[in-house]
Amino acid sequence: MQESETNHQPLSRSEEQESLNHVMVARIEKLNRIRELGVEPFPTKFNKSDTISQILDSWQDESTEHSSVSFRIAGRIVSTRVMGKAAFTHLQDETGRIQLYFKKDIIGETLWELFRLIDVGDIVGVNGTPFLTKTGERSLQVVGFELLTKSLRPLPAVKEKDGQVWYAWDDKEERYRQRTIDLIINKDSRDVLLVRSRIVHELRMFFFEKGYIEVETPVLQAIYGGATARPFTTHHNSLDMQLYLRIATELYLKRIIAGGITRVFEIGKDFRNEGIDRMHSPEFTMLEAYTAYENYEFCMNLYEELLPTMASHILGRTSITFDGNLIELSGPYPRLPMLDAIQKYGNFDIKGKTRDQLATFADSIGIAVKPEMGYGKLVDEIFSEVVEPNLIQPTFITDLPVEVSPLAKRHPDNPELVERFELYIGAMEIVNAFSELNDSVDQRMRFEEQARLRAAGDEEATPIDEEFLQALEVGMPPTAGLGMGVDRLTMLLTDSRSIRDVIFFPLLRSIS
């Protein structure tokens, strides 16, 4: 009955489009025939009283069969098998899937004629009673149904064996491009993205319970800052001014701290005009939180509480499996200074070395050294090459070079370093945090140094933000600030290999 149930040899793109057009024409003809029956194929409402999971959870034993209980559910037809004057289908809603049994003698001539015009992908509302098939499958015997939406575009080819349904759709990029279909037919994709929603909720609850205020800061900014990255630019016609999509929420959140609100956080989108790979997306979600009168050690302690709490609430345990590694999220986590980490994993004592000596070592391990790379940038590149792949279990990398940390407070024991840490799990940076620089004079000098780096060709260097400097000049208390990638946290907790797996609609290269 269903065109999507037919198995085909692989087709070229043009052949696929021709086949699709043929199927859609056939479905439009069915749509017209449905209207000729006097049926509206796109009604406005259906009084749904149950979900599939509720039905299956309430199923007790074989005594449920032929029960007088009637259920009203709605969902999408995902498979159909017609046998003369009867048919089995599977109906799927947001909670699960159940088998339906249609019989002409029960639903009547008119509804049977309508049923014969139903396709895989159509959305229907059903009134039915529970029974067990001869194979023991819990099913509903349909006593009435309504067509709620006629699907014109077919789902990928469906296969069925022994009551199990699956789809011949293995092209991962095509699944990203057609996320609507992916959500319909791939339970794993749907489950990962639903976990993401729970993660965002649990993050909010964690910070709410600790007395933080959730705020929203501008996405369009006249001066971008708060991170080292290239921005996306746009133009405001009415004001005739160039604007940027924010690369971080940091500078606005610290202005709020300076305004006297001592605990704030924001969960929002940031945008960075950079490369795309399995760890990076130009549009991503960040949690940033700021706490007055605390320092970066406070943030480390906070994360040793936050991450196992998240895992416990989401997974029911504090251990996870990521990329084939068993990882324990319960703390405490090792705290390893960045320079010591390079010596440990790279067998190179970086302390006291000049910029040229760092460049020579970087070149020897395959790093493309550019003239505009300063000392701090080289340290960061060397660290990424020799240390990051080894950081599987949660590890705080502390005390980074001041040159790559223009917004962090200098370390009291070494003014060339700052009180900053990055948390790595599964060889992936999850968190960046530091004791915030609140000395406006020092901050201005840092911005000016960044301006010199920009002039030398570093497109990711931070521009000078006078309005932020004015807030610091008013006075900001000692503050601890942290940022965490929500997408990467979701990757960890769902064992997803690519950031695209945890974003509903990832940005993809256009195709002709």
Query: Which residues have a Cβ under 8 Å from the Cβ of 414 and sit 6 or more positions away?
Result: 399
The number of residues in the chain equals 512
What DSSP state is assigned to residue 404? Answer: G
C-beta separation of 271 from 246 below 8 A? yes
pLDDT beyond 60 at 307: yes
- Taking CA atoms, 510 is separated from 12, 169, 177, 310, in Å, by 19, 20, 10, 36
Q: How far apart are CA 137 and CA 116, in angstroms?
A: 24
Distances (CA, A) of 54 to 51, 95, 183, 258, 294: 5, 8, 21, 51, 48
d(CA 69, CA 137): 18
In the prediction, which pLDDT does 336 show? Answer: 97
Least confident of 5-14, 21-30, 233-242: 5-14
Which spans in 69-136 are helix H? Answer: 104-115
Contact 266, 217 (CB under 8 A): yes
CB atoms within 10 A of CB 367: 18
Give the tokens for residue 57: 């959870």
How many other C-beta atoms are found inside a 10 Å radius of the C-beta of residue 234?
A: 11
Amino acid at the residue 282? P
How confident is the model at residue 67, as a pLDDT?
60
Using pLDDT thresholds of 50, 70 and 90, give the confidence band for residue 17.
confident
Kindly state the DSSP code that residue 275 receives in the 8-state scheme. -
Percent of the chain surpassing pLDDT 70? 93
Virtual torsion, Cα 271, 275, 277, 279, nearest 10 deg: -50
Structure tokens at 169: 């759709």
Q: What is the pLDDT of residues 66-102, one digit of tens each?
A: 567 899 999 999 999 999 999 999 999 999 999 999 9
Sign of dihedral through CA atoms 108, 112, 113, 114? positive
> What number of other Cβ atoms are within 10 A of residue 205's Cβ?
12
On average, the pLDDT of the chain sits at: 92
Q: CA-to-CA distance for 91 and 100, rounded, in angstroms? A: 7
Q: What's the CATH number for 190-334+393-502?
A: 3.30.930.10
What pLDDT, on a 0 to 100 scale, did the predictor assign at position 13?
A: 64
Of 365, 362, 353, residue with least CA distance to 380: 362
- Which residue shows structure tokens 């256009």? 510
In this prediction, residues 6-26 reach a mean pLDDT of 71
Stretch 374-386: mean pLDDT:
93
Domain boundaries, the chain: 3-168, 190-334+393-502
Tokens standing for residue 200: 């965002």
pLDDT at 166: 59
Q: Give the architecture-level CATH label for domain 3-168.
A: Beta Barrel (2.40)
Residue type for position 172: K
pLDDT in tens, 438-495: 999 999 998 998 888 888 888 778 889 999 999 999 999 999 999 999 999 999 999 9
Q: Is the pTM of this model over 0.85?
A: yes
- DSSP E strands in 412-478: the ranges are 414-418, 420-425, 428-435
User: 38 Cβ partners below 8 Å, 6+ apart?
Assistant: none
Q: Is the pLDDT at 7 greater than 70, yes or no? A: no
Which ranges constitute the DSSP H helices of 259-337? 296-315
pLDDT in tens, 203-242: 999 999 999 999 999 999 999 998 888 999 999 999 999 9
Q: What is the pLDDT of residues 33-66, one digit of tens each?
A: 999 999 999 999 999 999 999 999 988 755 555 5
Q: Between 41 and 165, where is the model more confident?
A: 41
Structure confidence at residue 19 (pLDDT):
79
- Minimal CA–CA distance to 189: which of 205, 170, 212, 202? 170
Give the β-pairing of 263-271 and 213-214.
parallel
Nearest CA to 187 among 268, 90, 73, 50?
90
Determine phi and psi for 85, rounding to 5 degrees. Answer: -100, 25
Q: Is the pLDDT of residue 6 over 50?
A: no
Helix, strand or coil, per DSSP, at residue 83: strand
> Hey, which residues does 73 pair with through a beta bridge?
126
pLDDT tens digits, one per residue of 318-366: 999 999 999 999 989 999 999 999 999 999 998 889 999 999 999 999 9
Residue type, 512: S
- Residue 408 in tokens: 């962090």
Q: Is residue 268 predicted with pLDDT exceeding 60?
A: yes
Token pair in block for residue 72: 């009203």
Report which residue type is found at 358.
Answer: L
Task: Dig out the tokens for 295 from the structure.
Answer: 């320092």
